[in-house]
Amino acid sequence: IVVGVGKGAREGLLIKDAASLEKLHRVDVIVADKTGTITKGQPELISLVNLSSRPDEEILGILAALEKKSEHPLAKAITAAAHGSLTLPAVTDFEALRGRGLRGRIGGTEYLAGNLALIESAGLKTKPEIIEAETAKGRTPVILATAGEILAIALVADPLKPEAKNAISQLHKMGIKVVMLTGDHRNTARHIADQAGINEVLAEAMPQDKLARIKELQTEGHIVAMAGDG
């Protein structure tokens, strides 16, 4: 045990106590987040589908101003696309909506930016043909809307980590099942899971849904490890 803890430390792995290392030996299911765990966590804005009559620069500026206040990895892709080329408007009354997106006020108008669940909860109709086609390519939609209309759909891609497929293959050889839990769209999640060779996917999941699935696995008698920050 002492040697194992020491070897782990040299590899940058901090093991908090001997009991944790002993329990890890018995793990038969590993649950992982998608963004930043299976994928690189370095997303890139691929395209912006502008559904409004406003200029693309104005729409991107509004979205980037909102996302600048967010800590989510996908926000970095949008702010990076606007960096240096646009002056971002001021945002007030900002609120992060866990597992769904965010809201904020710009110039007297309240905006929403986030996933399908957020937009549908506001009673707005999305563009299913765009969402389905783009998520099938592994892209994540970030939808910008006001209370009355959808303004744009930003499409963000976050590629698989180069080492992910091999790591999951090694886990399978050890008899360990891999489950991916993500708040992302089901098509995007399935695309990444297929690339990585992952057994099971729970998509469009809130943090409490992830916890519930872990508890289910434990109730079934599995020893579960979680990788990621979800």
Residue 161 gets which letter from DSSP? P
210 and 202 in contact (C-beta within 8 Å)? yes
Catalytic residue selected from 33, 93, 184, 194? 33
Do the Cβ atoms of 119 and 134 come closer than 8 Å? Answer: no
Largest pairwise CA distance in the chain: 65
Is 209 among the catalytic positions? no
Indicate the pairing of strand 224-227 with strand 200-202.
unpaired
Sign, Cα dihedral of 23, 27, 33, 34: positive
One-letter amino acid of 173: K
Rounded Cα–Cα distance for residues 33 and 202 (Å): 10
C-alpha span between 205 and 213 (Å, rounded)? 10
Q: Which helix (H) or strand (E) holds 154?
A: strand 150-157
Q: By three-state DSSP, how is residue 191 classified?
A: helix
Burial of 162 (0-12, 13-18, 19+ CB in 10 A): exposed
List active site positions: 33
